[in-house]
Each structure stands twice: as C-alpha cells, then as structure tokens.
Chains A and B, each alone.
Chain A
Amino acid sequence: MAEPEPWEDDEPEGPVRKFMYVNRRAPYGTIYALESLEVVLIAAAFEQDVTLVFMDDGVYQIKKEQNTDAIGVKNFSPTYRALEGYDVEKLYVERESLESRGLTTDDLIVPVQVIDKDQVAELMEEQEVILSF
C-alpha cells in the first residue's frame, strides 16, 4: 500500500488523551460557563478526544431562547451550536439534572445524548483529564 501523501495524513501529532469538560454551573450568574466553552473551542485545535457533560445547573447552559438584552450581557448560547463544526460532538446531559429542573431535550439548543448519573459516573471513569471550572 502506498505511503499517504502529507496532506492525506490526518493523524494529530503527539498523544491523544481523553479530556472531559464537566459543566455544572448555570450561565450568566458566573463566568464559568462561558470561559469553559472558550477552553473547549481553543482546545479543539489540539484534536484530543473530547467529551462535554452538562449536569446539575450546567444543563441550563444549553437552554433554548436565552434573551440577554435586558441584563446587558452577551448571549453566548449560540456558540454551543458551533461545537459540531469544531469536531466536538460528544455532548452528554445528565437525565436526573434535566428532570429535576423540569426540562426535556426539547428545551435544549443542541442535540445531546441523555444519560443517567451512573452512566455519567462511568463516563468520567474513562477519562484521563477532567476539567472543571
């Protein structure tokens, strides 16, 4: 089999590690949701194996129809829709966190996989680097 041309060799250089971003905070009340998202976007260039999990108040980050005009703060929720374009596709939401807040996936701005807390725990166990803000 012929050697791949340089432009065909898509493999990232260096190790690929499993990174998880744990999002547990509501948006706007603090900056953690926004600045966590900024890490994910920058990190995309490093082509690591990235998983995002939204749990506890973090599920509110991806709630539809955020209108921030009257609080004078930029609505950054559309940015979650850009994640797919950055090859960040493993988005999980914890079922118990959604349900206890009276939300369903219909309320969310991006497609996500809903998993229960035990599955979240298992997913966490698989990671190598877990970032929380």
Chain B
Amino acid sequence: MIKSLIAFFATLVFGAVLLLAYPATWISPGHLTAGHAQINARCASCHTPGRSATPEKCQVCHRVDQIGLTRVDGSALPTSGRTARTRFHVALTRTDCAGCHTLHPGQQARRDPSAFQHDLLDRATRAACATCHTAQAPKDARHTSSTTQCGSCHQTRAWKPATFDHAALSSAGGTCVSCHAKVTPANALHQQAAGDCGTCHRTTAWRPADFEHTRYFAFDRNHPSTCADCHKAAGTFKTYTCYGCHEHSPASMASKHREERITNIDNCARCHRSSRDRGEGGEGGEGGEGRRRREGDGRERSRERGGGGV
C-alpha cells in the first residue's frame, strides 16, 4: 500500500513537472499550423487556464476588422479570391474563433464546415449566401434563372435536402419535365403520360402518387391496350372517350341508351365502372356498387368535371 502511494505521488509530481516544462510534447494534441509554428511550445499564448483558447487572445494578432484585408504583419492581402471571402468575419455578431478553427491539425485544421453557425452572421450577410459560397453556387439553368434567395429552398446545415415551393413558379410556360427531365421515369406507363405528372403526383414529393384507375374504370384484358385508346387529348388524362373502337360508336350507344331514356352518353364511366358493368344498379354487383359509390362519393365530382369525352 505504501509503495503504491509513493508510486502515485511520485508519478504525479514528476509528471506535472514534465507537463509544465514540455507541454507540447506531453499534452499537445498536435503541432500547430505553419503560420503559428513559432508559438508551438507556448500554450499560454492562446490558452487561458479553464477557458481554452479565448477569442481575446486570438484577436491580439488577428483583428476582426482586418480579416481578409491585411495579414497579421500589416501587409495587404489580395482583394479577390479566397482571402476576400473571409471578409464575412466582419459581419459576425459574436466572435467565437474556436467554434470553427483549431490550430492543431493533428486533430483537424478546421472544424466541420457544416457546423458553422450561420446565426452568428448578421441578417443581411446571412441572406446573401453567395458572399461566401461563390465556388459552390450551382451553374445549372434551374438555379441561375432563379431570382429567389437560396434560403427559400436550402438550409444552412446542408445543401440537401432542399424544399421547393412550386407555387412560386411562374404560370407562364414550363412543365414538370422542364426541370425534372433527368428523373422522368422511362417505364411504359410513364412514357405514355406525356408530361402531365400532376394528374397523379404532387409537387411536395413523387410518392405517394394517387393514381388508381379502378376508382374511375376497372381494367380488364381488353381495356385498355394503351392509355391513348381512351385519353386521346394530348397532355391530359382528365378527358377520355370510349368511342373509337369496334364495340362503341356514338350511334350504337345512342340507340342502346334511348330505351332507357338516357341522353347524356358521353361520360360512360359515370355509370359503367368496368366493361362488365351494365350500369343498372341491380344485381350483378359491379354496376350496383359503382352506382352506390357515385351517389355519395365526392370523387365523382372531379370525374364528371373531366368527363364527357372529346
């Protein structure tokens, strides 16, 4: 026990002496950056016991109002390029050098840039992202033609994920594909969609999509062969017609419906929810079910709006 205590105190005293005499060797987390090499062993130049490296000590050499303008020796810095971008320091509302910088590159020369707290900047500088992010500014047409501020879609923590308010788009010209051409699905169904993405998809997200054709008309082996068989108007799926194939013609349909005293025969799916739906509402299931649904279903209104054929 006594030997252990002696070992403890001897280590403590001897270690403390070594630490004070050679702090860079014994406790430094790595050599300083080249610009600070001359104070490598003088920890107290930057560190204040109990407070780490304080901004006050940094500012002894690095005056905030001179950052990006002059070096610490007073010589002028280039007025463009990387050094010019560091002028944003002037706009900081609070100085916290160690919040972004560490001079011991044994750890990391600069902390994770994404950790930069943009709320340290004054409001005007924070809104002008390109003041600092000139190199990262996107060059594609979508962004270069945009007049809105970056913060409308992007956050300061990361470029992605971004949100985009499609309502801000001009109604003149432009379709979904104008911007989303690279992500247009190439499968057969979407190839026929002819760009009217909004029929099924929303602007907030691609999924969930609310395409459910059965709500309007149930497919079977004969219906349809292609979308265009029924949806003949270009660029929209809100209109359709059942006429045009061997089975259905306006004349034959008018004749059949005349017995029922039905004269509006253009919006077939209003009564016929499938090719087997007789539209009678009696036994036979589908027709009755379809009719019952129609009576209390708000969705019918939207179908009727678009119905009527071409």
Is the A/B pair a real complex?
A: no
